């Protein structure tokens, strides 16, 4: 297999009108990644060294998105929608380059397992001209049936064309197939459009190849592999299946999920063994967690790096650029953005740390805010090793709190604080005996006057 060249042709031209969206259907996301990007990843894992996207609706938007998830992929436009075989032939130029294997896939089947594609490619290596990926279901109504004779696939029959006996077949067409590269264009060019819709159907190449005496086989995968997304309900169904797969994978790799069904991963979440994740945690893109961390309930984490033995939450929000070093603590109702929390530092309660460094062993009191934005630009706050910032303090950036610096509670700090210095940034307290009673009486009288 490693010596065989492979091209994946991914059909992504559908308008997706049932999605009720201006966004091209295949750009709707599963686990934070466009569904077509999941298909691209599966093809790459199965050994497809080159990728082609056949696009139509929203072509410019598709190209822009593809530049991120498949920068090396070629795009071809299907100008008129005349069927699936016609769509594949939009990539004639790429197919004609002489690949050993051509994988034909759909951009709206994000749950395809790379292993299923590999099995289909193996059948080509063994001499098959076409290998169709099918699935079995106890309720085949609505699906095309795979018609086999003597262990070979002879036709794909749409249900409306099936005999009563053929309708009993539970082996159904998943839509995905592998075609021998040397035969692909001849088979595709032989497809006609003499049907009710006047379209060129990719499935017809099965009968064409079989009629030419070529080997055509069907391989079997789970129903999930062929699950196509046509509306928001099916999108949610696919998201649920993807998440369940990922949760299972995480737990089997040594991660504790206390309530797995309430934890949501992104497509690229990395999470180390012996990490404990409590209920209702959401991981957005770009999260990396080392071993032994504890993520408490109701935390929202994206674009963050969490080192070993860190403690996060509950109700913590880590935004992109948050970097927690070993044994750092970000506690309840805290937000960290574009900031490093160094080893053993603690940000425990009701605090915002943005565009900052919190030095090793430092302690940030409840209600502390790094005032990092003046409405036009962002500024940096540097808090030194072992510093102590008292509760309800505002640190107005740019500012440096030196090593071992001590900030009195309730301070507004606007100037740098040297190492080991104590800084007050608040008005001196003044107490006036009896004034509280006087104010209460005045306010009560004013309130009573308003009611008259």
pLDDT at res. 198: 87
| Cβ atoms 102, 9 nearer than 8 A | yes
How many CB atoms are located within 10 Å of the residue 6 CB? 23
Query: 36-62 as b/e, with b when 16 or more CB fall inside 10 Å?
Result: bbbbbbbbbebbbebbbbbbbbbbeeb
pLDDT at res. 242: 97
| Cβ atoms 137, 143 nearer than 8 A | yes
The verdict on whether 349 is a catalytic residue reads yes
Residues making up the annotated binding site for acetyl-CoA are 366, 372-373, 391, 409, 426
| Cα 149 to the center of its chain, rounded Å | 42
For 188-247, the DSSP string reads HHT----STT----TTHHHHHHHHTT--EEEEE--GGGG----SHHHHHHHHHHHHHHHH
User: pLDDT tens, position by position, for the chain (452 residues)?
Assistant: 568 999 999 999 887 788 999 899 999 999 999 999 999 999 999 999 999 999 987 889 999 999 999 999 999 999 888 999 999 999 999 999 999 999 999 999 999 999 999 999 999 999 999 999 999 999 998 899 999 988 889 989 888 888 989 999 999 999 899 999 999 999 999 999 888 788 899 999 999 999 999 999 999 999 988 899 999 999 999 999 999 999 999 999 999 999 999 999 999 999 999 999 999 999 999 999 999 999 999 999 999 999 999 999 999 999 999 999 999 999 999 999 999 999 999 999 999 999 999 999 999 999 999 999 999 999 999 999 999 999 999 999 999 999 999 999 999 999 999 999 999 998 888 889 999 899 899 989 998 988 87
Assess whether the region 6-226 and the region 246-423 belong to the same CATH fold. no
Options 1.10.760.10, 3.60.9.10, 3.90.550.10, 3.40.640.10; CATH of 6-226: 3.90.550.10
In the block, residue with structure tokens 């696939």: 153
pLDDT at res. 1: 57
Please give the span between the terminal C-alpha atoms of the chain, in angstroms, as a whole number.
91
Residues making up the annotated binding site are 11-14, 25, 78, 83-84, 108, 144, 158, 173, 230, 319, 337, 352, 363, 366, 372-373, 391, 409, 426
Stated as kind and residue range, the H or E segment containing 179 is strand 171-180
- CA angle at 65 for the pair 300 and 244, rounded to the nearest 5°: 45
Q: How distant, in Å, are the alpha carbons of 2, 156, 179, 181, 452 from that of 7?
A: 13, 23, 10, 8, 84
pLDDT at res. 189: 95
pLDDT at res. 430: 87
d(CA 300, CA 337): 12
Delimit the domains of the chain by residue range: 6-226, 246-423
pLDDT at res. 226: 87
pLDDT at res. 73: 92
DSSP3 helix / strand / coil % (the chain, rounded to 5): 25, 30, 45
Please state whether beta strands 171-180 and 101-106 pair in parallel, antiparallel, or not at all (unpaired).
Answer: antiparallel
How many CB atoms are located within 10 Å of the residue 377 CB? 9
pLDDT at res. 30: 97
Q: Which of 97, 298, 272, 296 is nearest to 182 (CA)?
A: 97
d(CA 103, CA 112): 12
CATH code: domain 246-423 is 2.160.10.10
Residues making up the annotated binding site for UDP-N-acetyl-alpha-D-glucosamine are 11-14, 25, 78, 83-84, 144, 158, 173, 230, 319, 337, 352, 363
pTM of the model: 0.89
Please give the DSSP secondary-structure letter assigned to residue 116. H
| Cβ atoms 392, 413 nearer than 8 A | no
Please state whether beta strands 152-157 and 422-423 pair in parallel, antiparallel, or not at all (unpaired).
Answer: unpaired
């Amino acid at each position: 297999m490693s010596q065989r060249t492979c091209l994946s042709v991914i059909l992504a031209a559908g308008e997706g009108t049932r999605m009720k969206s201006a966004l091209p259907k295949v750009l709707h996301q599963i686990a934070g990644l466009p569904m077509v990007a999941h298909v691209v990843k599966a093809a790459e894992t199965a050994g497809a060294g080159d990728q082609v996207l056949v696009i139509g609706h929203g072509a410019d938007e598709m190209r822009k998105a593809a530049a991120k998830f498949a920068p090396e992929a070629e795009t071809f436009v299907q100008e008129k929608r005349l069927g699936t075989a016609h769509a594949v032939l939009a990539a004639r130029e790429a197919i004609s380059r002489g690949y050993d294997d051509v994988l034909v896939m759909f951009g709206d089947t994000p749950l395809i397992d790379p292993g299923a594609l590999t099995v289909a490619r193996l059948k080509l290596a063994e001499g098959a001209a076409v290998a169709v990926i099918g699935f079995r279901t106890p309720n085949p109504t609505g699906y095309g049936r795979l018609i086999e004779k003597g262990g070979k696939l002879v036709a794909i029959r749409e249900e409306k064309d099936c005999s009563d006996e053929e309708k009993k077949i539970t082996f159904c067409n998943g839509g995905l197939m592998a075609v021998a590269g040397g035969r692909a264009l001849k088979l595709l060019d032989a497809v006609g459009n003499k049907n009710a819709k006047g379209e060129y159907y990719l499935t017809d190449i099965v009968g064409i190849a079989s009629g030419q005496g070529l080997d055509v086989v069907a391989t079997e995968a789970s129903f999930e592999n062929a699950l196509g997304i046509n509306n928001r309900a099916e999108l949610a169904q696919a998201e649920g299946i993807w998440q369940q797969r990922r949760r299972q994978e995480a737990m089997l790799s040594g991660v504790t999920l206390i309530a797995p069904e309430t934890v949501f991963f992104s497509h690229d979440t990395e999470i180390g063994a012996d990490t404990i994740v409590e209920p209702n945690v959401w991981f957005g893109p770009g999260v990396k967690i080392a071993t032994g961390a504890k993520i408490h309930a109701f935390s929202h984490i994206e674009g963050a790096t969490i080192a070993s033995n860190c403690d996060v939450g509950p109700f913590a929000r880590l935004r992109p650029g948050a970097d927690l070093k070993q044994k750092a603590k970000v506690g309840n109702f805290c937000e960290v953005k574009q900031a490093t929390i160094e080893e053993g530092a603690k940000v425990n309660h009701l605090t915002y740390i943005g565009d900052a460094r919190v030095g090793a062993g430092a302690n940030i009191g409840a209600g502390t805010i790094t005032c990092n934005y003046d409405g036009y630009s962002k500024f940096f706050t540097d808090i030194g090793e072992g510093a102590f910032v008292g509760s309800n303090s505002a640190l107005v950036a740019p500012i440096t709190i030196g090593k071992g610096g001590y900030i009195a509670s309730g301070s507004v700090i606007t100037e740098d604080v040297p190492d080991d210095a104590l800084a007050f940034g608040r008005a001196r307290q003044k107490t006036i005996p009896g004034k509280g009673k006087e104010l209460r009486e005045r306010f009560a009288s004013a309130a009573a006057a308003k009611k008259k």
